[in-house]
A and B are shown apart, each in its own frame.
Chain A
Amino acid sequence: MTLRYDEQRHPLSRRVLHWIMALSILIMIGSGWRIYNASPIFAFIVFPEWITLGGDVQTSLARHGDPGVASAIAWHFAAMWTLALSYLLFVVWGFVTGHFRRDFLPIGPKSISRDFVAALALRLQHRLGEYNAVQKAAYVGVLVMVGLMILSGLAIWKPVQTYPLELLFGGFQGARLVHFIVMAGIVLFLLVHVALTLLVPRTLQAMVLGRAAGPRHTAVSETVR
């Protein structure tokens, strides 16, 4: 049977976990920036306060005598649970149900570089229900990055009880550095991910409602307009 339409489906479990992870990651990033500011790794990188999570500094000072770092840490140590749990379920689900195998494979350096060049030339096509190589690489990449965040985060939160985990990252300060750099990678993913979703809104529809269909993948640009 040939489909007359291209179709993207996301089962409920995937959608729920996706959105829990998405919200958790936003909380982790916003609160993480406030925590980072308390003792910046790079003197020239400080996040503007309004973009960080942890509440109004003056309110917090009046309330706690603390400039909102405590609130940021509280956010961070709350969202770490929702993120770790949803991530774990997502990954286990992905392997068990075959979602990863079906949708992320095959993936190889050749197809990635081909599609990457095409994307840079603004010639890459997006077909509902089928990920191109750059998408596959990005999704696998962000899952690996979140895994790295959880591991390096654990090494920072519990450097004694999880010792020698920190040695994997070059010590405690190494773990902080990895946590910071991988955060930047995830933010980059997020920016591109959200931008592309806005360009192809049906993908957002699929991730919210579970299903989206579009005209059969043919020529460039006809469906975007």
Chain B
Amino acid sequence: MTLIRREALRAGFSLGALTLLAGCDLSDHDAVQNVLARFSRWNDRVQAALFSRSRLAPTFPEVMAVKEFRYNAWYGPDKAPRLNPADYRLQLAGRIENKRPWTVEELYALPQVSQVTRHVCVEGWSMIGKWSGAPLRTFLERIGADTTARYVGFECADGYYEGIDMPTALHPQTIMAYRLSDEILPAKYGYPFKIRIPTKLGFKNPKFVTAIYVTDKQPRGYWTDRGYNWFSGI
């Protein structure tokens, strides 16, 4: 049997076959979305199992840290909330012994660590930065959070909301970042602090956090509600 010849023209059919696939895009059907959501929940479980409490995200030499970090939000930097330290109070809720709200001054007095780690966006870009702040674990212990609970949730001044699994919340590199590149976190990057989690995708790193709660019910997430995977570990 032979190949090609003038029939080679028919190779054009293969292109047609590919476009057929796109033409019958099923993504918007409820049934398809349900199947995909099921896979996503399965992926949550796989990722939770893959997550190692002791494995650290790679750290980099400080010279590799970007000074002008990429701004990323669904609104422009001028629209970012500007919180006034005089009346800012971090609210606490859920399975926490001492729910007294915290001031910026009190938060910033916690023992701090620095990390030069890589921020990985779900879209694919990545950027190395230097963040400093208190380990979230230290804070959770100070406020008497029940660390046997399953989740920690966050609410933010810009309407954002996120939540993470407790093992990630207790991970040594999960910090309340007060500083970026040694500067107090500028307003557009989330003053007074952002939750910096180098073992999660960027969107699991909420900024301008105004409330923290501890719960057994999986917290919703802004982008998770828009179809992204909940665990989103890396």
Contacts and interface: CB of A to CB of B under 8 A. Distances in A.
A65 B74 CA distance: 11
Q: 8 shortest A-B CB distances, which residue pairs?
A: A70-B227, A55-B27, A195-B11, A194-B14, A78-B39, A39-B123, A74-B36, A38-B123
Contacts of B86: none
21 contacts: A26-B21, A30-B21, A39-B124, A51-B18, A55-B25, A69-B122, A73-B228, A74-B40, A75-B36, A122-B4, A124-B2, A128-B1, A158-B50, A158-B233, A158-B234, A160-B57, A163-B55, A191-B15, A198-B11, A220-B2, A223-B1
Interface string B6-37: 01101101110111011101011000010111
Interface string A147-164: 000000000111111011
A128 to B, nearest CB: 6
A129 to B, nearest CB: 10
Contact of B22 (A53, A60, A75, A122): A53
Contacts of B122: 69, 73
B81 to A, nearest CB: 19
Contacts of B199: 160-161
A200 interface: yes
Interface of B: 1-5, 7-8, 10-11, 13-15, 17-19, 21-23, 25, 27-28, 33, 35-37, 39-40, 42-43, 47, 50-52, 55, 57-58, 118, 120-126, 198-199, 223, 225-229, 233-234
Contacts of B227: 60, 64, 66, 70-71, 73-74
Interface of A: 6, 26, 30, 35-36, 38-39, 41, 50-56, 59-60, 63-66, 68-75, 77-78, 81, 119, 122-128, 156-161, 163-164, 172-173, 176, 190-192, 194-196, 198-200, 202, 214, 217, 220-224
A74 B1 contact: no
Given A71-B227, A74-B229, A163 B3 contact: no
A50 to B, nearest CB: 6
A223 B14 contact: no
